[in-house]
Structure 1
């Protein structure tokens, strides 16, 4: 056994997680749980193509268009906190089941909305489900996966989120081009999300609870039964012993919640996590994913080509996530984060310069499109999946969902701010000033992460907690 930063704390050498049936069972669990990510992606991406026919039906102004888009993100901010607290109290699995029901209710409300006000309210409800899923699904995946596979399992959710956005772009284009003459065609675009919501609800009925959550509640026999489904027998016993030992020591301290923010090392982790969510949104990625078609039209492409260009953003986003998943278990987290923000700043500067150097017209528009897809690829290959992975890794077990809820609340509020104000910002400041601002934010993010971000690669969740507390807990 290796030495511990705390002499009274026992550390455990974990056997191999196993192969065959445990791996197969883990795959099924991850597939079902990531329907939450698919809904996250589809519900945030579908508005990109649905906004134009929706605006015509409800006579929306620029302000009310922003409210339609941003209302989901505001709901998601509160859903992240709501989901985190419920997940801590009642379990990850039960929370995901509840969120699946909210997805269904919110989707039907949007589809049947008689007016803009009802639609905005329904998208707020839908956002509660999106935010809850964004906070709960990565935690569930991170806690049920073995430490050596945690990165690929958690980032699989990010892959599915991006796939959901790409699916929304493609489905919107197909529905609009074939049935665009049908009244209220946007309702059918939104209705598609009902299918994965039902699949999530039905599928999660048959999935187990997080073993780490069960241990935190003293339900060790149930936790061992779950671990034996997804680990080799030897690994299940060893992991149960390690997490039970850590949970028993944590139980002697204050219960997870606001009181824990008074602990210096915990507060430091929450500040890091909130910074991750804050700066991820200030990359401008969701300006592209929500307003990509309008952005390309403003750059000089006609509407037909702009729709195709928007699909290209989705394709490069998915490709970037795929590359990121390949690199996650090969490169340190810090290296990928810092490289990602450096590339983001670089491509934003190129976009800003393009608007100055190349005269308005097709040449400028195609150049902007090239740099946009390179930015999307770089962002989604590094910062995108890593943000969610780090949020699922860095917090102590007993406050993991609570702390992640705070950080994801910050992320979604910034998402809402970007969604609401990006169109008037582009109109008032132009592309050069707007993307220069995004580049500056990326530089600040680089400095923030270089200074504060810890390394979590190849560390068990319990091992990381011990090391971080040893370094910062006694100061």
Structure 2
């Protein structure tokens, strides 16, 4: 049983503070994903060659042409070189793998890419995939743990501990000087930032009034994602050392520090755990902050105590009963598949060739993101969240199919538009999917279920890094086709979810009640008007009859 509908603390400053954190947390989560794109900037490189012998009186360019073999495309190889500058005794020259490289930014005051600092090229290019995979796996693992802890020990301690670890690990990542240390720190920071995001969104959701929470949480989350795009477009053009650029880029992490001052334990969770005194203290404090009548908040708390006391025997096992319920497991499975599919479809186009550095691309993506949110806001106010999700997944499935067909075409405007549209729909669609999951699961198990759903989404991102090999083998069309098929399967599976959430059912019932009352009032009004008209007509007829009788009597008396 979700006790949330009975909690009344008003809507004001208390909720706005958490909604602000609800904007900052997705903003930071996106920054931690963007940081790889920021510091993995492509640079020109070539195999580092030994110095030519003294008797070779040739230039460095001629020496390079002599020692580097040609690839199939006619370009000089950047990963292999000849072992000897000339063939011995007419034999074929053997090639060896390059162990060192020279880069185009070696002569600059600072290296602008992590690629040149740690030689992430050629056979060492796989380390980039390892780094991204570790990032996704850390996000998956820590989010699951945080969700379970949030249901057992509370939202606030998990959130505050996550913020502290996030700040420390982010600073450590900016100071890391070795590849191993950097990857280890990113494993922790990526996990903590997604855990903080999920718990923050959950906390804001649980203290927001029913009429406001879906749209408010979706707006706050989408706004944070849009701000991350703007911040990336601002910092990316800087030509500075990659460590300094990373430090500047990750500086907004400190914006989560005010959470130590504004975050309270969720009163919904406290009531679900039968900790009524603590729940009452939080509710009265929230009512005071919102300038809500204290006596009304106290009255609501007393009613909750009475209601929960009747179910005191069931409280110790209620969590296990919920997690063991078939309906809960089915919802978790369907939403996990949905989040996995939508995340995979978003990460696959990120490895497509369209140029993301051009200003028009950044501006176009931002405008499409705004348009996607506006369309979603319009639809949610008129349709159920499940219907909107079906529409979103259907459109994304069509886009993936179109990308599968256009993958071999030139990277022109059409293909880039498809990629931008797919990414923009992922922004709003992922937030919608997360909020829908928050609506479907009861408070006592919400953290565990929702964080499992999100973790499955991170597995989709992890799979996207693996399927890059298909793209390198020229089968990117297959990757997009699989992503489109998964989106379509998710849309079909969503038909098994509740057609409307509890809040939407309440709203529809209110609308039906209002419509019924309105029709009854109109019927009563028409009936009253009809009776008044009949009464007025009968009175006029009676008056006319009396007047006619009186006139005849007067005429008779005259005669």
Q: TM-score, normalised by structure 2?
A: 0.68
Residues 14 and 58 of structure 1, relative CA distance in 2, 3 Å threshold: closer
Structure 1 distance, partners of 2:318, 2:221, is 27
Residue number among 262, 280, 283 corresponding to 1:206 in the alignment: 262
Are 2:503 and 1:455 aligned? Answer: no
Residues 394 and 286 of structure 1, relative CA distance in 2, 3 Å threshold: same
Residues 10 and 296 of structure 1, relative CA distance in 2, 3 Å threshold: closer
With a CA cutoff of 8 Å and minimum separation of 6, indicate the structure with the bigger relative contact order. Answer: 1
Residue number among 128, 133, 150 corresponding to 1:87 in the alignment: 150
Are 2:385 and 1:347 aligned? Answer: no
Larger Rg, first or second structure (1 or 2)? 2
Name the SS of the counterpart of 2:348 in structure 1: helix
Residues 326 and 207 of structure 1, relative CA distance in 2, 3 Å threshold: farther
Match of 2:89 in 1: none
Contact 1:40 / 1:161 at 8 angstroms: preserved in 2?
A: no
Structure 1 distance, partners of 2:5, 2:20, is 30
Structure 2 distance, partners of 1:308, 1:241, is 58
Residues 30 and 402 of structure 1, relative CA distance in 2, 3 Å threshold: same
Residue number among 276, 284, 287 corresponding to 2:348 in the alignment: 287
Residues 257 and 410 of structure 1, relative CA distance in 2, 3 Å threshold: farther
Match of 1:146 in 2: 209
- The aligned length equals 428
Contact 2:404 / 2:481 at 8 angstroms: preserved in 1?
A: yes
Name the SS of the counterpart of 1:174 in structure 2: coil
1:303-318 map, 5 Å:
305=358, 309=361, 312-318=364-370
Residue number among 29, 52, 58 corresponding to 1:40 in the alignment: 29
Give the drift of 1:66: 1.3
Residues 31 and 304 of structure 1, relative CA distance in 2, 3 Å threshold: closer
Match of 1:472 in 2: none
Which protein is richer in helix relative to its size? 1
Contact 2:235 / 2:249 at 8 angstroms: preserved in 1?
A: no
Match of 2:116 in 1: 56
Which runs of 5 or more structure 1 residues have no equivalent in the other structure?
A: 1-5, 465-475
Give the drift of 1:39: 0.9
Structure 1 distance, partners of 2:474, 2:39, is 26
Residue number among 233, 239, 252 corresponding to 2:314 in the alignment: 252
Residues 23 and 130 of structure 1, relative CA distance in 2, 3 Å threshold: same
Structure 2 distance, partners of 1:456, 1:231, is 30
Contact 1:23 / 1:230 at 8 angstroms: preserved in 2?
A: yes
Give the drift of 1:40: 0.8
Give the drift of 1:127: 1.4
Residue number among 411, 421, 424 corresponding to 2:469 in the alignment: 424
1:325-340 map, 5 Å:
325-340=377-392
Contact 1:75 / 1:128 at 8 angstroms: preserved in 2?
A: yes
Match of 1:25 in 2: 14
Residues 375 and 62 of structure 1, relative CA distance in 2, 3 Å threshold: same
Give the drift of 1:187: 1.9
Structure 2 distance, partners of 1:408, 1:196, is 23
Match of 1:469 in 2: none
Give the drift of 1:266: 2.7
1:1-400 map, 5 Å:
22-52=11-41, 53-60=113-120, 61-175=124-238, 179=239, 182=240, 185-192=241-248, 194-216=250-272, 217-218=275-276, 219-228=278-287, 229-230=289-290, 232-233=292-293, 236=297, 240=301, 249=311, 252-255=314-317, 260-282=322-344, 284-288=345-349, 291=350, 295-297=352-354, 305=358, 309=361, 312-356=364-408, 358=409, 360=410, 364-381=411-428, 383-400=429-446
Residues 266 and 450 of structure 1, relative CA distance in 2, 3 Å threshold: closer
Give the drift of 1:132: 0.8
Give the drift of 1:389: 0.2
Contact 1:46 / 1:165 at 8 angstroms: preserved in 2?
A: no
